[in-house]
Structure 1
Amino acid sequence: MSNIVIKSVIRRENENDHIEIKLQALFGLVRYHLEIPIAKLKGMELVFKREQSGTPITPGGEGTSEETIDRHTIMRLVEKLNDLLKYTRDLTGIAKQVLCKTRITEWIWTTKLGTGDAVWTAMTTGMAWSAKSSVMGVFSQMVRLQTIPQMDVQPLFNQTSFTTEIVSTAKIRVIQMLVVGVRLIGRIRAVKGGFRAWGRVLLPRRLSRNI
């Protein structure tokens, strides 16, 4: 009956991004921490630094690495996603089940913006409020909100700046994830070549060749 707790902080300040995710499960026996303190655009590529750590039974290892995302990387990800959709019966239905069972217990979304012009700043502030309301309306249909979302937009009339930050906490019971996992295995088995497709996506190339 324990929970998988995922705490995340996503912040964008002008051209810099910062992402931090903490996962805890089985009353703290499983812990994972991922932090991306630097993410910058260089031409058509996104370069980011990643720091991760966790318990010995947490996959992913520990350490710091720098990675680059370009259009070729995105195309490979799209191809892998298409393979999973092709070789798994109703994968989108499984994803919806996970979202429906996810409970959001904390949601704080603050934004500070300024265009350098008072009139445009006021108009942009109104559009930001409208966009946030629309996003939360769609989001509340996908997950279970167990808290009142705290949202704020602060206009900065005397400067040109943009900062937005989302702090959230999501919970889902371990038993619910196990049930979803069993259903996922059953739907993978229902399609010929399903396990091979998942092996090619999840395992390193040198291992997936032997599947």
Structure 2
Amino acid sequence: MQTTIWIVAVIFMLILLLCVMKLKIYISYSHNGEDDELTLQVRTLFGLLRFTRKIPLLAIDDESPAVVFEEQDESALFKKEKKEKFTLRRFLDDIRLFQRFLKHVIGFHTIVRKWMARVSMHDFSWSTTIGTGDAALTGAVSGMLWGIKGNILGIVSNYLRMRNRPVIDITPDFQQIVVKTTFSCMVSFRLGYAILAGIKVLRHWKKGKMLFQKNNVEQTARRDIHV
């Protein structure tokens, strides 16, 4: 009997620890000419557990409309590398799958909005150097980029909690043709909120699927009556 109580207590403590644990995701991206690199690092358990993924863009495939990139995954337990192609067909297939998913989840936007209100954004920094070779055009493009960055920052701050002042910068280069940009930030949230949001999505997905099937049956019945 005591053994059972201890097992239940340990399981309860593990679930409680999992719910209160904070997940931190560090994101950094850099573009300089033809060189691109995206780095994602996930940390939890006070930084003791880490997982890093680096995705440098290698080239545009000459044989098909695809981007070739190399993934590098690294953690305390393993390290592996692989090359992949991201094609237009794969992109369109992913969009279709997401649309089908949204069709079955009732109130998906509300669920995500409530969860994202619990997500914090730290150290948002986005710097860009732009030059077109023409002074007037460079000035116009710089102004347009300021507007784009301002709109993106407004959307992000509307959904997430900004923990400190974001830094955005655009440096026009009137002497040469150049495009450089660096972006970095850290996103944090408690796993308990993410698990709760996942449970809500699963529950609403089942309701949406049943409603979708019911509507299909009713539409089929109406067509049969008219026939």
Tell me whether the two structures share a fold, i.e. TM-score over 0.5.
yes
Deviation at residue 136 of structure 1 after TM alignment: 1.0
Cα pair 1:34 1:52 within 8 Å, conserved = yes
Instruction: Give the drift of 1:69.
Output: 1.2
Q: Does 1:119 align with 2:142?
A: no
Higher helix proportion: 2
Closer, same or farther: CA 180–137 of 1 in aligned 2, 3 Å: same
Tell me the distance in 1 between the aligned counterparts of 2:21 and 2:142. 41
Residue 117 of structure 2 aligns to a residue whose secondary structure is helix
Query: Superposition pairs for residues 1-211 of structure 1, below 5 Å?
Result: 1-43=20-62, 44-55=65-76, 62-192=79-209
Structure 1 residue 147 displacement after superposition: 1.0
C-alpha displacement at 1:68, in angstroms? 0.7
Query: Could you tell me which amino acid in structure 2 is paired with residue 125 of structure 1?
Result: S
Ranges in structure 2 where 5+ consecutive residues have no aligned partner:
1-19, 211-227
Aligned counterparts of 2:126 and 2:186: Cα–Cα separation in 1? 12
Work out the CA distance in 1 between the residues paired with 2:209 and 2:145. Answer: 47
- Could you tell which deviates more after superposition, 12-21 or 181-190? 181-190
Instruction: Report the CA distance between 1:137 and its aligned residue.
Output: 1.4
Separation in 2, partners of 1:150, 1:192: 43
For 2:191 and 2:73, how far apart are their aligned partners in 1? Answer: 22
Q: State the partner residue of 1:208.
A: none
What is the aligned length?
A: 190
* Cα-to-partner distance string for 1:67-125 (whole Å, 9 max, x where unaligned): 11112211221222123223333233332223221111110110011111222222222
Structure label with greater radius of gyration: 2
Question: What TM-score do the two structures reach when normalised by structure 2?
Answer: 0.75
Q: How many angstroms apart in 1 are the aligned matches of 2:202 and 2:113?
A: 16
* 8 Å CA contact retained: 2:104, 2:206: no
Hey, what's the Cα distance between the residues in 1 that align with 2:143 and 2:209? 52
1:20-60 CA-to-partner distances (Å, cap 9, x unmatched) read: 0001123235422110122433352111111112355xxxx
CA RMSD of aligned residues (A): 2.2
Give the ranges of 4+ consecutive aligned residues of structure 1 lying more than 3 Å apart after TM superposition.
none
Hey, what's the Cα distance between the residues in 1 that align with 2:119 and 2:147? 25
Point out where structure 1 has 5 or more consecutive residues left out of the alignment: 194-211
SS in structure 1 of the partner of residue 143 of structure 2 = helix
Match of 2:221 in 1: none
- 1:15 maps to amino acid: E
**Counterparts of 1:29 and 1:184, CA distance in 2:** 30
